[in-house]
């Protein structure tokens, strides 16, 4: 038995976490790739819980940055960035439910060099930005095109190669009432840029609108904590996810589980507020599902909680707060 | 000659700041009041520059809180709050232009007590919130209904009456591509909650979409700096604005001028980023229109800049940075 | 009768706010000027409540920046900046008491041009700093020497002259146990850079150590809200203060009163925390001295509270939250 | 050959990282335990580079919290908390040098239950505090006394036992000019509460005053990222460190290396500023010692940097930014 059989997706999902149907959301099926998380546009796909969906994702620049001599400020048309696959309508999803996404696989696609990272104006963690608005100058633009291979990794230069550790940068459901840029992370998911959203993980999103309107895109071949300059190794992929529905599960922000941990993902500014939101949601999870008194969980996490910084560059910073399942389960 | 004749609206506006047509946007004309700033819905009104528009605004709760025994958490349906008049399409407005709004008057309407302020769960400056997410308890809900009169003021209790100092809490144009809750302030205006947005001021907004899509609502009868508990003295009004269009004026965030000052309004978190954004925009204004070297303006504002805290409770905090016109003009 | 006769200093002070003795703390009496707030050094002066002290203050650079061609980075020796007069031992002051300082007058001294403002490396509100540590470049150093005159004002350039509006930038008592740079503001006062700390105001500081150890210095001839580039119009002065002692008054952070308002001054980062601290202390003041229920004060300040940004450049930002005395007193 | 032989301590240290003398700093030798980081008090020990020092540390409460029925607010006398061993004078240390501390071992001492964690008023990550000053109530005080054993771990309750993973919570040199509470972390080290400061690591501190004045204390038996409620599993220990001196090495904030990584430790508020400071220092390290162009290091860390949150509760938050040595070294 795999750990997955004990996951919330497998034990409480309408489809028991099973793969019951298969769907393709390739470039042809997708057509236009939206840049906005919204329940106001036509779903590209309608599925039942248990759907396995194979999507051809674009990179965050929709493939427009082709060469290291390209200038992002001339090529990119903000906010029309970070194209998404979807939305996917999940039959039966209502406000108050949760859509579960099990990430089966991420495989790079496209011609080499298919990885891209850039420094662009007014964006990044160690430069003036639109929010941290200074009058001192920024850095010059720079583009790196990188060879990305599932087996041999991400070739940074002749000396350094990083392992291929792909994850989905942007994943979530439509927000309530609003239509928000896919550059933003928030309570409904979106541009979390959290490396744990990787093959083998299940991510849970609180449904805001009937059908849920699931989106995904922005896969990263590698990313450090914080996504420091603002742009990970962006690359186009074939990404396969399995979708299920948990009825009547009230969660406030995205949660994630994998073989070893339970994580809640907070999105806010300043960064301490993202951390607070993540830890509070994790405490509520431990209280609801693992029998902890909330204050006891607070004190225990003081001793064993783990924090992952997703991004320190997006409109909201993301922080994942987690606890080992081995610890949480011991309390049962 | 009034100061207004020297304003940017009067000197660079397509309609020279003049009142050339009159329009009513009462409850009947408005119909449904949107809760979202977006260019994706049908304009309620289409006007030329020079339009004077008289709007019947609702209070931020759409009049639903009627008694001090009401419980906001039971009555309100987040995020369907802060209903707006509009959108108003301004003929000729294009991205790269600016919509100018001169606020002519704000008059309270409706039955007494027509003012409302509340403490509601997870909202406010000195309590745990969704962003500053704590596990300690919040405050109990509380509703205050207040007698609001244009002449006699806002009666807080038998001993304290505040002057009636009305302004428009939420005013702006549609954002680029997105559809954002009217609870949010940002580069396009929105829920700035900045008391200077008052009769006698001109506010400038950078157009993001053709037609601009101007919205207004959320008038406050009185508000302190920061809007501390999150809810000013909300009240329904008859608000009259005059609208003009400045072609080809690149501004990044809302700007405001009145008889005495020039202000830029930043919206961000943490609060220092809102202040940075406001001061940077003000420096750019002083450089472009008043002949300052940017660094000289930076050093001069160090000695005479003024800061107004709009809100410390909304999804983004707002800060207005200003300089006296008498100082800026002396440099010409 | 002056408003001062109704102040806390005049009504609760050991010396009834009266001027009972006169003392001089000129350059000769002062000797070395300390750069640290501490109770661990020898007092320069020991006074009873009721003392009037006339101090010759240095500018924040101790007069070392003499010409616009000087380079601050070569001349200044961080953290040996911001020299202070004092410490002054106040007889009878104990932990749990409050030292009250009424600012009688500030008069510029020294040869012209006696005002100085500079841009120095890694310091200021719109540049990378040691805290907001970026890898993009800062601004070049720049020095401005300014003619400062009590009557004619601060001559910025041939076109612009600012009014002379002096205040004490750095004022407070020794912290508990620690010895903190005079560049830092905190609960004990220090480098608040709050323009309301001006002639005509009374400022209250919570005593941390026997004798209080009062310091003052860093007088500004003019300063905008936020002290944007980090350096106001620094100038040497003759500053006269009157000191009294309030026994057994528990305050947490500096409080200030003048003819029209009550203010509490918070110091923290991010800026919203400084605002929170200031408003909380103000609420406690209104509850203790003006008969307000705390939650009622919270809601009332939402409608009429005023915020002044002191600095957005020092190790802690300072925010003053205030209410008009006319409003607070009406509640009695 | 151990990794240590290639460390900066072993290759650039005056004593080549060797253990050349042994010293005891037990309770008897220490006498009073200071609560302040300062160069103004008498060193308890004077050593040459190469000294191995075995210290008997107290827990952060100096052993005063003995029972789960104790009330911290009655027993503790803020700011007289977090007692330190030291200061230790290191012969030859001058400003511009670096003191290297290799942590040899940490062994618990004292009677069981010797571990302590508490919730105390106005302190912690998910409650109102002195900085995040709210008017809503906090949490009730709570004390947990825990069995801590080097072999069997930290017994949380009958079901949960955490591994014993000790580290030094507070370690550093005296600040420049100031005397700062041992509750504060900053550029000189201090109360970093960073779990990587553990046996097997070398930590580097920039010397500010002749002799360096090294302090240590506050050992934790276990701690999660962020030290969420503010108090890890505090316990008294026998801690052994080896001290060396690197002459003429300009670093700005603490750096750390162990077998696998290079880390810089930033301390600031808001949390993003702590992260910025850490990453900037790491970039400078990679540029100076590993041949990276700074912007290339910035882009590379975007793909492989790692962030550890030390604390989100102390006067300054701490963030460690790190890179694998295997990656940095590949560039040589």
**Residue-wise DSSP of B57-82:** EPPTTTT---STT--HHHH--TTS-S
Of A133, A139, A270, the CB nearest to C136: A139
**Interface A-C: count of C-beta contacts within 8 A:** 32
CB < 8 Å to D135, chain C: 280, 283, 294-295, 298
**Is the Cβ pair A302, D276 closer than 8 Å?**
no
Q: Work out the percent of chain A whose per-residue pLDDT is above 70.
A: 100
Q: What is the pLDDT of residue B15?
A: 98
Tens-digit pLDDT profile for residues C163-206: 999 999 999 999 999 999 999 999 999 999 999 999 999 999 99
CATH architecture of B3-250: Sandwich (2.60)
Query: Nearest C-alpha of chain A: how many angstroms from C127?
Result: 5
Is C287:C297 a contact under the CB 8 Å cutoff?
yes
Residues of chain B predicted below pLDDT 70: none
Q: What is the CA radius of gyration of chain C?
A: 19
The SS3 call for residue D276 is helix
Q: What is the CA radius of gyration of chain B?
A: 19
pLDDT value at A1 more than 90: no
pLDDT value at D1 more than 90: no
Query: Nearest C-alpha of chain C: how many angstroms from B101?
Result: 25
Q: What sections of chain B are H helices per DSSP?
A: 8-12, 27-30, 72-75, 271-290, 294-304, 325-330
**Is the Cβ pair C305, B272 closer than 8 Å?**
no
**Is the Cβ pair B294, A177 closer than 8 Å?**
no
Of B135, B180, B270, the CB nearest to A298: B135
Of B224, B272, B280, the CB nearest to C302: B224
Of D133, D137, D270, the CB nearest to B270: D270
Residue the block writes with tokens 């060396």: D244
User: What is the pLDDT of chain D when averaged over all its residues?
Assistant: 98
Q: Where are the beta strands (DSSP E) in B194-250?
A: 202-206, 214-220, 237-246
Q: What is the pLDDT of residue D282?
A: 98
Same CATH topology for C3-256 and C257-330?
no
Is A162:A225 a contact under the CB 8 Å cutoff?
no
CB < 8 Å to B304, chain C: 162, 222, 224
Other C-beta atoms lying within 10 Å of the C-beta of residue D77: 9
**Is the Cβ pair B160, C223 closer than 8 Å?**
no
**Is the Cβ pair A273, B35 closer than 8 Å?**
no
- Integer angstrom CA distances of residue B16 from B13, B104, B289, D153: 5, 16, 18, 78
The sheet carrying D237-246 orders its strands as D21-25, D51-57, D237-246, D98-108, D202-206, D255-257, D261-268, D317-324, D306-311
- Integer angstrom CA distances of residue C42 from B118, C32, C88, C89, C214: 53, 11, 9, 9, 12
Residue of C nearest to A132 (CA): C126
Query: Nearest C-alpha of chain B: how many angstroms from A268?
Result: 6
CATH architecture of C3-256: Sandwich (2.60)
Residues recorded for chain D: 332
- Write the DSSP symbol of residue A134: -
Q: What is the pLDDT of residue C326?
A: 98
Give me the mean pLDDT over the A133-141 stretch. 98
Query: Nearest C-alpha of chain C: how many angstroms from D273?
Result: 5
Of C117, C144, C298, the CB nearest to B229: C298
How many angstroms separate the CA atoms of A296 and D304, rounded?
Answer: 35
Other C-beta atoms lying within 10 Å of the C-beta of residue A201: 21
Q: What is the pLDDT of residue B64?
A: 97
Query: Nearest C-alpha of chain B: how many angstroms from C315?
Result: 13
**Is the Cβ pair A125, D330 closer than 8 Å?**
no
The SS3 call for residue C308 is strand
**Is the Cβ pair A277, B181 closer than 8 Å?**
no
How many angstroms separate the CA atoms of B109 and B166, rounded?
Answer: 12
CB < 8 Å to C298, chain B: 119, 124, 126, 228-229
How many angstroms separate the CA atoms of D292 and D282, rounded?
Answer: 11
The SS3 call for residue D327 is helix
Find how far residue A322's CA is from the centre of its chain. Answer: 16
Which chains form contacts with chain A, at 3 or more CB pairs under 8 Å? B, C, D
Residue of A nearest to D321 (CA): A225
Q: What share of chain A is helix, strand, coil (3-state, %, to 5)?
A: 15, 35, 50
When pLDDT is cut at 50, 70 and 90, the band that residue C141 belongs to is: very high
> Which CATH number does D3-249 carry?
2.60.120.580
Q: What sections of B168-265 are H helices per DSSP?
A: none
In degrees, rounded to 5, the angle at the alpha carbon of residue A24 between the alpha carbons of residues A22 and A25 is 140
> Which CATH number does C257-330 carry?
3.10.28.20
The complex scores an ipTM of 0.98
Q: Where are the beta strands (DSSP E) in C110-236?
A: 115-119, 142-149, 153-155, 161-162, 167-172, 180-181, 185-186, 189-190, 202-206, 214-220
Tokens of D7: 């460390």
Give φ, ψ of B309 to 5 degrees. -85, 120
How many angstroms separate the CA atoms of C299 and C281, rounded?
Answer: 15
Of A132, A138, A139, the CB nearest to C132: A132
When pLDDT is cut at 50, 70 and 90, the band that residue A276 belongs to is: very high
**Is the Cβ pair D127, B138 closer than 8 Å?**
no
Q: If interface means Cβ-Cβ distance under 8 Å, which residues of chain C face chain D? A: 35-36, 38, 40, 79-80, 130-135, 176-181, 187, 252, 266, 268-270, 273, 276-277, 279-281, 283, 294-295, 298
Sign of the C-alpha dihedral, residues C149, C154, C156, C161? negative
Give φ, ψ of C12 to 5 degrees. -120, -5
- Integer angstrom CA distances of residue D99 from B197, D46, D206: 56, 14, 7
Q: What is the pLDDT of residue B205?
A: 99
Query: Nearest C-alpha of chain A: how many angstroms from D232?
Result: 6
User: What is the pLDDT of chain C when averaged over all its residues?
Assistant: 98
**Is the Cβ pair D126, B135 closer than 8 Å?**
yes
Of C222, C226, C303, the CB nearest to B224: C303
Q: What is the pLDDT of residue A162?
A: 98
Of A133, A134, A270, the CB nearest to C128: A134
**Is the Cβ pair D176, C269 closer than 8 Å?**
no
Tens-digit pLDDT profile for residues A14-49: 999 999 999 999 999 999 999 999 999 999 999 999
**Is the Cβ pair D303, A225 closer than 8 Å?**
no
**H or E element in which residue A86 lies:** strand A84-90
CB < 8 Å to C139, chain B: 295
Segments making up each domain of chain B, as ranges: 3-250, 257-330
pLDDT value at A185 more than 90: yes
User: End-to-end CA distance of chain C, in Å?
Assistant: 20
User: What is the pLDDT of chain A when averaged over all its residues?
Assistant: 98
Q: Is the bond leading into A212 cis (omega within 30 degrees of zero)? A: no
Query: Nearest C-alpha of chain B: how many angstroms from C150?
Result: 16
Query: Nearest C-alpha of chain C: how many angstroms from A138?
Result: 5
CB < 8 Å to C134, chain A: 126-128, 134
Q: What share of chain D is helix, strand, coil (3-state, %, to 5)?
A: 15, 35, 50
Query: Nearest C-alpha of chain D: how many angstroms from A29?
Result: 31
**Is the Cβ pair D130, C179 closer than 8 Å?**
no
How many angstroms separate the CA atoms of C2 and A117, rounded?
Answer: 67
Of A133, A180, A266, the CB nearest to B276: A133
Q: What is the pLDDT of residue D69?
A: 97
Give me the mean pLDDT over the D272-283 stretch. 98
Sign of the C-alpha dihedral, residues A293, A296, A300, A302? positive
Query: Nearest C-alpha of chain D: how many angstroms from A48?
Result: 36
Residue of B nearest to C227 (CA): B302
Give me the mean pLDDT over the D313-327 stretch. 98
CB < 8 Å to A231, chain D: 302
Q: What is the pLDDT of residue D16?
A: 98
Q: Is the bond leading into C267 cis (omega within 30 degrees of zero)? A: no
CB < 8 Å to C127, chain A: 134-136
Tokens of D170: 């507070």
How many angstroms separate the CA atoms of D198 and B138, rounded?
Answer: 39
**Interface mutation vs chain C, best among B224, B294, B326, most C CBs within 10 Å:** B224
How many angstroms separate the CA atoms of B136 and C42, rounded?
Answer: 45
Tens-digit pLDDT profile for residues D220-269: 999 999 999 999 999 999 999 999 999 999 999 999 999 999 999 999 99
How many angstroms separate the CA atoms of B8 and B14, rounded?
Answer: 11
Find how far residue D304's CA is from the centre of its chain. Answer: 24
């Amino acid at each position: 038995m795999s750990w997955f059989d004990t996951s919330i997706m497998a034990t409480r999902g309408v489809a028991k976490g099973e793969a019951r149907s298969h769907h393709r959301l390739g470039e042809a099926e997708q057509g236009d790739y939206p840049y906005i998380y919204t329940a106001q546009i036509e779903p590209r796909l309608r599925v039942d819980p248990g759907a396995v969906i194979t999507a051809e994702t674009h990179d965050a620049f929709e493939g427009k940055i082709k060469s290291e001599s390209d200038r992002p400020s001339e090529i990119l048309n903000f906010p029309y960035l970070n194209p998404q696959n979807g939305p996917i309508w999940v039959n039966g999803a209502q406000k108050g439910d949760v859509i579960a996404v099990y990430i089966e696989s991420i495989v790079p696609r496209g011609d080499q060099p298919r990885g891209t990272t850039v420094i662009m104006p007014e964006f990044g963690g160690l430069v003036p930005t639109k929010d941290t608005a200074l009058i001192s100058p920024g850095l010059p633009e720079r583009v790196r095109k990188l060879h990305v291979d599932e087996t041999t990794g991400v070739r940074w230069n002749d000396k350094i190669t990083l392992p291929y550790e792909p994850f989905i940068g942007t994943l979530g459901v439509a927000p309530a009432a609003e239509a928000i840029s896919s550059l933003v992370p928030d309570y409904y998911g979106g541009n979390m840029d959290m490396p744990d959203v990787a093959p083998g993980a299940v991510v849970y999103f609180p449904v805001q609108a009937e059908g849920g309107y699931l989106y995904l895109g922005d896969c990263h071949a590698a990313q450090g904590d914080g996504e420091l300059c603002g742009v990970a190794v962006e690359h186009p992929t074939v990404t396969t996810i399995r979708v299920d529905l948990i009825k009547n599960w009230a969660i406030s922000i995205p949660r994630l589980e994998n073989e070893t941990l339970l994580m809640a993902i907070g999105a806010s500014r300043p960064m301490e507020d993202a951390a607070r939101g993540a830890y509070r949601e994790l405490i509520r999870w431990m209280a609801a599902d693992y029998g902890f008194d909330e204050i006891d969980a607070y004190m225990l996490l003081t001793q064993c909680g783990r924090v992952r910084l997703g991004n320190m560059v997006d409109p909201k910073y993301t922080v994942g707060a987690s606890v080992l399942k081995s610890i949480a389960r011991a309390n049962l």
